[in-house]
Amino acid sequence: MKRNQSNAPHRVVVTGLGAVSPVGLDIPTTWESLVSGKSGVGYISSFDTTDFETKIAAEVKGFDPVRYVSRKQAQRMDRFTQFGVAASFQAVAEAGLKITPDNALETGVIIGTSVGGLLSAYRQMLVMVKHGPRRVDPILAPTMTGDAASVQVSLLLGTKGVNYAPSSACSSGSDAIGQAYELVRDGYTRVMLAGGTEAPIIPLVMAAFSNIRALSTRNDDPPGACRPFDAARDGFVMGEGAAMMVLEEAGCALARGAPILAEITGYGNTSDAFHLTRPAPDGASAARAVRLALDRGGVSQDEVDYINAHGTATPLNDRMETNVIKSVFGDRAKSIPISASKSMIGHLIGAAGGIEAVITVLALHHGVLPPTINLTQPDPACDLDYVPNVARKVRILTAVSNAFGFGGHNSVLVFRKYR
H or E element that contains 339: strand 338-339
Cα separation, 337 vs 309, in Å, equals 10
Please report, for residues 140, 278, 310, the alpha-carbon distance to residue 292 in angstroms, rounded to integers and kept in the order given. 40, 22, 17
Residue pair 264/12 in contact by the 8 Å Cβ criterion? yes
3-state SS string over 342-410? HHHHCECHHHHHHHHHHHHHHHHHHCEECCECCCCCECCCCCCCCCECCCEECCCCEEEEEEEECCCEE
- Catalytic entry in 10, 226, 252, 310: 310
Q: Which of 10, 226, 347, 365 is catalytic?
A: 347
What is the C-alpha to C-alpha distance for residues 400 and 419, in angstroms, rounded to an integer?
17
Cβ–Cβ under 8 Å, residues 410 and 269: yes
**Annotated catalytic residue within 10, 170, 226, 365:** 170
Q: Is 409 a catalytic residue?
A: no
Q: Provide the pairing of β-strand 398-405 with 409-416.
A: antiparallel
Active site residue 382: no
Identify whether the C-beta of residue 263 lies closer than 8 Å to the C-beta of residue 415: yes
Told to judge if 310 belongs to the known catalytic residues of this protein, a careful annotator would answer yes
Catalytic residues: 170, 310, 347
